[in-house]
């Protein structure tokens, strides 16, 4: 009898112990329960059970919701695998990734004896409630091999297939041997790693290409591809080799720098220097020295601008080419400088002579400062080829940014440096010095005065409290609204987006001769085009982010949406080329 009573007591104790361990391993909210299991070594399985009509979000909730997060203290933790989420589209353009009914997380945990794991999630129905459940692994008994094998197999059936794909460093691109369907989803495993609005899935002869826009300095390392039949967890590796695309962009930047000399922002300052060459031609080694100092000034100025832009972007600012003209005080100083240049060129004022001009010119500082100053003046303009190169640069590494800006600098410096080195070429095509040079001096002063007036008007606009003055007299231009654009695009509406600024002279030129042309107005009216303007006259974080989302950091930028897709238009686009 004594042995029987002892056996019953032991059995009762074991049952109580098992119930206690079960209580420690299972915790619940009103609508979600989590059961934890571990193998006694370093792997933990979390089994989620969710009430009908309720759901929680995946690690990347998509456009709405909060991610389900796992954190730990007294240990390190790694999410090895997680169940395939349900993907759905809300309001025709918003994506959600969520769990319903059952879901599993596989975790690698060190130091099981002291580990404390916390799950943070939001359970949603018509309302959403944030919840937290915390477990101490020391209070949870290890599963035996049979039970663990069954649990692991059950969870494995819900995990996506793992694959590894390689993307070139020069572009975010993955290729799949599968068919395109409307139910295909490509989602990072974490939110805010890439611009998810930029994800583009397109059909090719060899299958499917997926492209996206990175949020520098981060790179997408892992993503989920969902098709109606399969789910793939993609580990992304990048080729760390100098690519032909980078060399191509460096060439584009060099050509863009050459063309930049012909843009209206630059002509006034270079016209002053060309006039000086005509008046006082140099011989011997001096022209080569002047060309060198001018080039050094240009290169240094470009590199300083690039470093400032990189520094600002590291701090979370979205700025682009010509960013300094978003600051009123800088524009005001530039307007005053150009007006003084006009007064000097028309002999209303005279440069002071303190006896140091000889030393100043001999040292080459005059040419150096000209090159340095010319870049600041050129920054509002983005010529052909230049916008694509700069936009590409700021999606890549800091080294690539400096390489592209350096190529841009040498291209920009080349034409004037050649004129400095071979001034006799000018004299072969121009008449001998004479009275005509005074008239030329007056003519060359006109663009400088125009630039001073233009910058002054920009300064006046910037110091006003309300800088947005959209012209709605004939066409209905709306302020940029990413949500509204996405909504209209989902409905198949034609959309035209103009990224502009008062300080961008090319923008103003295109506005006058393209966007206000009768042909453009007729196209908009006949094709029911929704018009949006993003005014970057002053720095606005949301508009800078929007500009970067299209892979550009310079303006003008014109984006045209047609049949659910968008295209970046050329700098000087033809209205007739736009799809109807």
DSSP string, 406-421: HHHHHHHHHHHHHHHH
- Say if 31 falls within a structural domain: yes
Categorize the per-residue pLDDT at 440 as very low, low, confident or very high, splitting at 50, 70 and 90: low
Strands 86-90 and 94-99: antiparallel
Domain check: are 359 and 494 in the same one? no
- Say if 485 falls within a structural domain: yes
Q: Count CA within 13 A, CB hemisphere, residue 415.
A: 17
The residue range of the domain holding 117 is: 20-156
Domain check: are 515 and 549 in the same one? yes
- Say if 548 falls within a structural domain: yes
Categorize the per-residue pLDDT at 433 as very low, low, confident or very high, splitting at 50, 70 and 90: low
Looking at the predicted structure, is the pLDDT value of residue 500 above 90?
no
- Say if 472 falls within a structural domain: no
Looking at the predicted structure, is the pLDDT value of residue 59 above 80?
yes
CA-CA-CA-CA torsion sign (121, 125, 129, 133): negative
Residue where a domain terminates, one of 239, 261, 285: 239
Domain check: are 373 and 450 in the same one? yes
Measured CA to CA, the distance from residue 416 to residue 236 in angstroms comes to: 46
Choice between 198 and 234, residue whose per-residue pLDDT is larger: 234
Give the residue-averaged pLDDT of 510-514: 82
Provide the number of structural domains found in the chain. Answer: 4
Measured CA to CA, the distance from residue 140 to residue 427 in angstroms comes to: 91
Non-local CB neighbours of 58 within 8 Å, separated by 6+ positions: 67, 68, 82, 85, 97, 98, 99
Domain check: are 432 and 573 in the same one? no
Measured CA to CA, the distance from residue 117 to residue 134 in angstroms comes to: 6
Flag the least confident range among 150-154, 258-262, 340-344, 540-544. 340-344
Determine the pLDDT at residue 378.
67
Domain check: are 348 and 437 in the same one? yes
Give the residue-averaged pLDDT of 448-461: 76
Looking at the predicted structure, is the pLDDT value of residue 577 above 60?
yes
Residue where a domain terminates, one of 156, 178, 202: 156
Determine the pLDDT at residue 445.
74
Domain check: are 92 and 193 in the same one? no
**78-109 pLDDT tens trace:** 999 999 999 887 766 678 899 999 999 999 99
Determine the pLDDT at residue 276.
62
Looking at the predicted structure, is the pLDDT value of residue 561 above 90?
yes
Non-local CB neighbours of 485 within 8 Å, separated by 6+ positions: 495, 497, 530, 532, 561
Give the residue-averaged pLDDT of 239-247: 65
- Say if 72 falls within a structural domain: yes
Measured CA to CA, the distance from residue 545 to residue 436 in angstroms comes to: 51
Give the residue-averaged pLDDT of 187-196: 81
- Say if 33 falls within a structural domain: yes
CA-CA-CA-CA torsion sign (360, 366, 367, 372): positive
Choice between 170 and 573, residue whose per-residue pLDDT is larger: 573
C-alpha distance from residue 469 to each of 243, 249, 533 (Å): 44, 36, 10
Determine the pLDDT at residue 288.
83
Percent of the chain's residues with pLDDT above 90: 19
Which segment, 303-312, 317-326, 351-360, 482-491, is predicted with the most confidence on average?
A: 482-491
Domain check: are 378 and 334 in the same one? yes
CATH of residue 62 = 2.60.40.1250
Categorize the per-residue pLDDT at 558 as very low, low, confident or very high, splitting at 50, 70 and 90: very high
Domain check: are 300 and 409 in the same one? yes
Looking at the predicted structure, is the pLDDT value of residue 13 above 60?
no
- Say if 290 falls within a structural domain: yes
CA 42 to chain centre: 39
Domain check: are 104 and 128 in the same one? yes
What is residue 136's three-state secondary structure?
strand
Exposure string over 9-31, b if 16+ CB within 10 A, otherwise e: eeeeeeeeeeeeeeebbbbebeb
Looking at the predicted structure, is the pLDDT value of residue 368 above 60?
yes
**279-295 pLDDT tens trace:** 555 666 777 888 888 89
- Say if 470 falls within a structural domain: no
Domain check: are 195 and 57 in the same one? no
Domain check: are 62 and 131 in the same one? yes
CATH of residue 507 = 3.40.30.10
Looking at the predicted structure, is the pLDDT value of residue 264 above 80?
no
Domain check: are 394 and 368 in the same one? yes
Categorize the per-residue pLDDT at 472 as very low, low, confident or very high, splitting at 50, 70 and 90: very low
pTM comes to 0.43
Residue where a domain terminates, one of 156, 184, 214: 156
What region, left, alpha or beta, does residue 239 occupy, with left being phi > 0 and alpha being psi -120 to 50 degrees? beta
């Amino acid at each position: 009898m004594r042995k029987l009573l002892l056996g019953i007591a032991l059995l009762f104790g074991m049952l109580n112990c098992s119930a206690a361990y079960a209580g420690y391993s299972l915790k619940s909210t009103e609508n979600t329960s989590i059961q934890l299991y571990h193998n006694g070594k370093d792997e933990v399985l979390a089994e989620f059970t969710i009430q009908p009509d309720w759901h929680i979000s995946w690690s990347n909730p998509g456009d709405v919701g909060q991610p389900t997060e796992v954190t730990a203290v007294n240990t390190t933790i790694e999410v090895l695998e997680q169940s395939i989420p349900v993907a759905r589209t809300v309001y025709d353009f918003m994506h959600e990734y969520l769990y319903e009914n059952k879901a599993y997380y596989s975790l690698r945990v060190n130091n099981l004896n002291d580990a404390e794991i916390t799950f943070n999630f939001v359970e949603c129905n018509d309302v959403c409630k944030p919840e937290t459940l915390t477990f101490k692994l020391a209070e949870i008994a290890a599963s035996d091999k049979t039970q663990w094998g069954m649990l692991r197999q059950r969870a494995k059936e819900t995990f996506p297939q793992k694959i590894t794909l390689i993307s070139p460093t020069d572009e975010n691109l993955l290729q799949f041997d599968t068919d395109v369907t409307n139910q295909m989803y490509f989602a990072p495993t974490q939110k805010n790693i890439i611009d998810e609005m930029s994800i583009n899935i397109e059909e090719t002869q060899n299958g499917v290409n997926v492209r996206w826009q990175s949020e520098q300095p981060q790179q997408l390392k892992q993503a989920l591809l969902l098709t109606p039949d399969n789910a793939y967890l993609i580990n992304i590796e990048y080729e760390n080799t100098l690519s032909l695309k980078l060399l191509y962009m460096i060439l584009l930047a060099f050509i863009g720098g050459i063309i930049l000399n012909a843009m209206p922002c630059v002509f006034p300052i270079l016209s002053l220097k060309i006039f000086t060459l005509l008046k006082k031609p140099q011989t011997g080694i001096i022209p080569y020295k002047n060309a060198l100092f001018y080039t050094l000034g240009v290169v240094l100025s470009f590199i300083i601008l690039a470093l400032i832009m990189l520094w600002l972007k590291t701090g979370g600012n979205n700025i682009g080419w010509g960013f300094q003209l978003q600051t009123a005080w800088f524009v005001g100083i530039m307007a005053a400088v150009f007006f003084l240049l006009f007064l000097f060129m028309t002999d209303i004022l005279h440069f002071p002579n303190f006896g140091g001009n000889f030393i100043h010119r001999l040292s080459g500082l005059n040419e150096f400062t000209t090159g340095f100053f010319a870049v600041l003046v050129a920054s509002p303009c983005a010529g052909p080829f230049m916008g694509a190169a700069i936009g590409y640069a700021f999606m890549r590494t800091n080294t690539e940014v400096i390489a592209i800006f350096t190529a841009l600098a040498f291209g920009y410096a080349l034409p004037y440096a050649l004129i400095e080195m071979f001034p006799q070429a000018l004299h072969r095509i121009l008449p001998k010095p004479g009275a005509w040079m005074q008239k030329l001096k007056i003519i060359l002063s006109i663009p400088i005065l125009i630039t001073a007036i233009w910058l002054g008007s920009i300064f006046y606009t910037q110091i006003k409290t309300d800088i947005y003055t959209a012209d709605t007299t004939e066409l209905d231009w709306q302020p940029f609204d990413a949500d509204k654009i996405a909504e209209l695009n989902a409905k198949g509406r034609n959309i035209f987006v103009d990224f502009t600024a008062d300080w961008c002279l090319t923008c103003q030129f295109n506005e006058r001769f393209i966007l206000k042309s009768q042909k453009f107005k007729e196209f908009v009216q006949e094709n029911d085009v929704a018009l949006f303007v993003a005014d970057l006259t002053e720095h606005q974080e949301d508009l800078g982010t929007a500009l970067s989302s299209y892979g550009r950091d310079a303006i003008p930028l014109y984006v045209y949406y047609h049949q659910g897709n968008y295209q970046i238009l050329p700098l000087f686009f033809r209205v007739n080329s736009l799809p109807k």
